[in-house]
Amino acid sequence: MEKKLLLESKIDSLHDIEKLIDEISDKHEFADELYGNILIAALEAVNNAITHGNKFDTSKKIDFSIKIGNKKLIIITQDQGKGFDYNNIPDPTAPENIENITGRGIFLMKKLSDELHFHEEGRVSELIFNI
C-alpha cells in the first residue's frame, strides 16, 4: 500500500497529514503508542519541510508519501529548499539548548521512529517504523 500527497507550504497542510495517518492507523489497527509515534514524527517532518525547508514559500511544494509493506511503514517527506547539514544538529537536551524554543523536531523524529535517514542534502527525510 502506498499513499501520496502533494502539500502546500503552509501550516494548514498538517491537517492533511493528521487525517491520512488517522485513516491508515484505523485501517491497520495500530496500537495507540505506535499511532502516536507515527503521527508526531510525520507532523514534525512536514512542519520542518514547511518551516525550514521551503520557508513558508507557497510556490514550493512538499511531496509526502507513506508506504506499508514487509512489516514496515515508511514515510518520505521532500521539500524544495536548499537542504541542511543533518550531521551537525545541536543536541536539544544539552544544557545550553534546553531552553531554546525550537530545535527538537529532528530529535523527536529520531526518538519516535525505528530509523531516520536524510537524503539529497537533507531535503528528503525518511522515517521507518516497524509494524
Q: What is the pLDDT of residues 16-26, one digit of tens each?
A: 999 999 999 99
Asked whether the beta carbons of 78 and 62 are under 8 A apart, the reply is yes
Please give the pLDDT value at position 90: 80
Please give the pLDDT value at position 124: 98
Mind spelling out the 3-state secondary structure of 47-75? HHHHHHHCCCCCCCEEEEEEEEECCEEEE
Domain containing 96 equals 2-130
| CA-angle at 53, arms to 51 and 55, nearest 5° | 50
* pTM of structure: 0.94
Q: How many domains is the chain partitioned into structurally? A: 1
Confidence tier at 97 by pLDDT (50, 70, 90): confident
Q: What is the pLDDT of residues 34-57, one digit of tens each?
A: 999 999 999 999 999 999 999 999
Please give the pLDDT value at position 92: 80
Whether 12 has a pLDDT exceeding 80, the answer reads yes
Domain CATH number, residue 35: 3.30.565.10
